[in-house]
Structure 1
Amino acid sequence: MTTPAELLPATRRALLHRIAVAQRDGRAPSLCAAVGRDGKLVWTGSRTSVDGRGPDEDVQYRIGSITKTFTAVLVLRLRDEGLLDLADPLEKHLPGTGAGDVTIAQLLAHTGGLAAETPGEWWERSSATLRPTLAEVLGEQPFRHPVGRRHHYSNPGYTLLGSLVEAVRGVPWEEALRGEILEPLGLSRTSVSAQAPHAGGWAVHPYADVLLPEPSEDLGLMAPAGQLWSTARDLTAFAAFLTTGDDRVLSAESVREMRTPAAPTLPGDWEASYGLGMQVVRGGGRTLAGHTGSLPGFVAGLWLSEEDGLTAVALANCTSGLPAATVAADLLRIVAEAEPRIPEPWRPLPEVDPAVLELTGPWYWGTQVVALRLTADGGVDLGPAAGAGRRSRFRANGDGTWTGLDGYYAGEVLRAVRRQDGSVSHLDLGSFVFTREPYGPDAPVPGGVDAEGWRGLPQ
């Protein structure tokens, strides 16, 4: 990958203009933003109501529910180590909660049917001592919907996931977070409590340009749902990790799984979904993954576009009024449209297995023609020879078979069936038979092929 060049002056000005308008119209005491390209920080900017005191990319803000993505990474690490399965009920690893029938995957995707908030006082503005146990976090009636039927955002659900991490790891959530994510990724300015320099949280009067300081509570058991403080620089690095993975923390395949929609969409909101600890939105021909966050005094947004190789972060210290998620998405769009990603040069494969090469080209599923192509990573791609239709990428399994990575055939196994003389008879994919010609007379098509073959319609 080539080193990303500095953004063009016109692009930098457009980014500055966007955050200047956002800070003014959102009446935020301060706003700090950043853009990353191909894993590198390429732009930062800030606006502030105090002359000469603009925050830089290393000033901490509270990031609210972006914390959930960090917690989700910890859970996926446990899965990848074989310590749990996402299909496991919570009760298997964290008994006695009263919500034990919910699976770990459902908690990650907010499809467990749990309440959005805790019972009692507004948890973000009250002492954690009011909720010393999971019983106080969940209350006597923790469910609002049938389990697994719909997406219903749940802060208590992520408290359960944080407690799950502690139960399986045997260490506090904070310790696991620091040792398994923050230190390996070099996120030295991300922490559970504020570290100077940091912004103060403010509420802005809705009808007057006056301020009120917001309290900054330690969230206690709710920390895995929204405790963290971070910076534009650290979050840009975290977003880069969420794009490509890092084997010291989580593989590319696992972060891709996090970015894959796992929850049903809500009526009227077909362009937004939720993966495993990450929001997924579609618009303007672009798919973004990331998370939004808010706590009293702070709003935050983090988005990435894998296709564009871009990440964007926006942080502000106001309770409401400034849509940080929209600002971050706009920053990403500005760069993507002004400076489209320059593709890597085409290069031939260094080597190819002749037995795989002979499988390339056209195949027929019934009368529909598809094409099998080799991919640069050693896998194959199967999709329409032309036009729209089912398309999937496949990973080589090392035994002459391939497993689908996406699309209709995700998880399905593709294999070449050979005759006794070693020649290829057909491809088998999830019981579908793909042949070299449409309904050839010797094709092993289920149900057989009419012996009289193709014919015209008698007049």
Structure 2
Amino acid sequence: MTSSFEALLPSTERALLHRVAVAQAEGRAPSLAAGVVREGETVWFGSRSCVDGHAPDAETQFRIGSITKVFTAVLVLRLRDEGLLALEDPLEKHLQDTGVGEVTIAQLLGHSAGLGAETPAPWWERTPGTVRPTLADVLGERPQPHPAGRLHHYSNPGYTLLGSLVEALRGVSWEEALRAEILEPLGLRRTTAQPVAPHAGGFAVHPWADVMLPEPSQDLGLMAPAGQLWSTVGDLCRFAAFLAEGDERVLARSSVEEMRVPAAPPAPGEAEAAYGLGLQVVRRDGRTFIGHTGSLPGFVACLWVSVEDGLAAVTLANATSGPLVGLVTAELITIVAEAEPRLPEPWRPLPAAEVDQELLALTGSWYWGTYAYGLRVGPERGVILEPLRGAGRRASFRALPEGGWIGLDGYYAGETLRVVRREDGSVSHLDLASFVFTREPYEPGDAVPGGVEEAGWRGL
């Protein structure tokens, strides 16, 4: 999100505060705090508490549970970008003697490795990590109840393996790598593995009475990469801005965008939800949200980003159950998006250095059989190919140094588009994954696979 700070309208701020107040009251949370990011800047913060005068501020820590997994995934993607591993590598190439070494790093990131959802008893979230001192203790006797790569099955132990992978390749603890490689560069000074005052206490609220109990706060040990962290609305808003645009000090934009791509088919009954490489991808009311939810005894949390709207929101509460923070966070974004729609960037012509006369000559209509397509110039000498009418496959392409273009999205992602020329240098056709696009539909003499009947077009 490019920075162009502008305060929200008072009516929008009132609507946001109302939503937070309703969430805290109806969700029966001791306290609830939330923030909104627009174009990379935190533009709103609000909170409510059951104790008058003691509402949390933007720097009050809450436990964030599985939002921790996003941080772990970023550490793994950094290793990939440095060439220290490939996502297709089997785990055993870098971390031996786990008993599940044939699963790939990508499968672990996307929860498609077939591993179990939880550790063996006792419940890992309410017991100290010393109960599970080794990976064998974390994985148990039946670590892989599903075949690898076949379906999405959320796995907390999978992220313990990824944390151990980071430690093996970095030679430092997961917490040290996290601090040096993410927290310090992004200025997340209030995100820590252990609580640092001021922080909220975690509570269980009785489901049938307005009373509550303190929840224990455990050091999760080896399970820390799956859910250990404490953070604040302020820090998570800054992290949300990073997830929208990337930051070369931590992870390039292209790698952050890669994290958003669904890595496996969604589970049955979850057509509107998918999982990328450490990021949840949720479709709700016409908007796509990327980010993560989190919970540990005493706390619930959510961070959503709507890249298309240039908005993000964070919600944190200190109750084991109650506030539907995933829904609330999405609604905070929707309130701003609908009350103050994002203004499009002004149209500007291409920089003079990007004007390529040969490329301009390729623009216009092209035909795949009788399907009409238009080719137009994109940024940085890229191109966009889209149907001119009816259904068809639209795709954007990035220019390749050696010539031609590589598909970035849709059906043609990863496929090569190239110009095929005749002996005299004139353009014969476009070749895209063996599909031939010609200037005219089935023109005699054109390079149409199977040829064109010489008699040409005819009537009945």
TM-score interval, smaller chain: over 0.9
Is residue 112 of structure 2 the alignment partner of residue 111 of structure 1?
Answer: yes
- Residue 175 of structure 1 aligns to a residue whose secondary structure is helix
Q: Where do 1:28-427 residues align within 5 Å?
A: 28-351=29-352, 352-427=355-430
- Residue 269 of structure 2 aligns to a residue whose secondary structure is coil
Is contact 2:128-2:219 (8 Å) kept? yes
> Alignment length, in residue pairs?
457
Q: 1:221 to 1:336 in 2, by over 3 A?
A: same
Which amino acid in 2 is paired with 1:144? P
Is contact 2:29-2:318 (8 Å) kept? yes
Percent same amino acid at aligned positions? 70
Which amino acid in 2 is paired with 1:413? T
Is residue 5 of structure 2 the alignment partner of residue 4 of structure 1?
Answer: yes
Q: 1:171 to 1:2 in 2, by over 3 A?
A: closer
Task: State the Cα distance separating 1:389 from its structure 2 match.
Answer: 2.1
Q: What's the TM-score once normalised by structure 2's chain length? A: 0.98
Which consecutive unaligned segments of at least 5 residues does structure 1 have? none
Mapped partners of 2:56, 2:270: distance in 1: 35
Task: State the Cα distance separating 1:387 from its structure 2 match.
Answer: 4.0
Q: 1:112 to 1:2 in 2, by over 3 A?
A: closer
Is residue 444 of structure 2 the alignment partner of residue 437 of structure 1?
Answer: no
Q: 1:406-446 CA deviation, whole Å, 9 max, x = no partner? A: 11110111111112222111111111111111111111111
- Residue 381 of structure 2 aligns to a residue whose secondary structure is coil
Structural RMSD (CA): 1.0
Mapped partners of 1:282, 1:388: distance in 2: 22
Is residue 431 of structure 2 the alignment partner of residue 428 of structure 1?
Answer: yes
Task: State the Cα distance separating 1:2 from its structure 2 match.
Answer: 6.1
- Residue 300 of structure 2 aligns to a residue whose secondary structure is strand
Q: 1:262-301 CA deviation, whole Å, 9 max, x = no partner? A: 1211222211110000000112111111100000000000
Mapped partners of 2:3, 2:168: distance in 1: 43
Which consecutive unaligned segments of at least 5 residues does structure 2 have? none
Q: 1:6 to 1:377 in 2, by over 3 A?
A: farther
Mapped partners of 2:440, 2:456: distance in 1: 12
Mapped partners of 1:388, 1:266: distance in 2: 28
- Stretches (4+) displaced over 6 A: none
Which amino acid in 1 is paired with 2:84? L
Task: State the Cα distance separating 1:377 from its structure 2 match.
Answer: 3.8
Q: What's the TM-score once normalised by structure 1's chain length? A: 0.98
Is contact 2:380-2:399 (8 Å) kept? no
Q: 1:173-192 CA deviation, whole Å, 9 max, x = no partner? A: 11111111111111111111
Mapped partners of 2:412, 2:271: distance in 1: 22
- Residue 348 of structure 2 aligns to a residue whose secondary structure is coil
Mapped partners of 1:180, 1:396: distance in 2: 31
Mapped partners of 2:217, 2:331: distance in 1: 29
Mapped partners of 1:120, 1:367: distance in 2: 62
2:455 counterpart residue number:
452
Q: 1:86-128 CA deviation, whole Å, 9 max, x = no partner? A: 1111111111100111111110010111000000200000011
Which amino acid in 2 is paired with 1:416? V
Task: State the Cα distance separating 1:198 from its structure 2 match.
Answer: 0.7
Task: State the Cα distance separating 1:146 from its structure 2 match.
Answer: 1.2
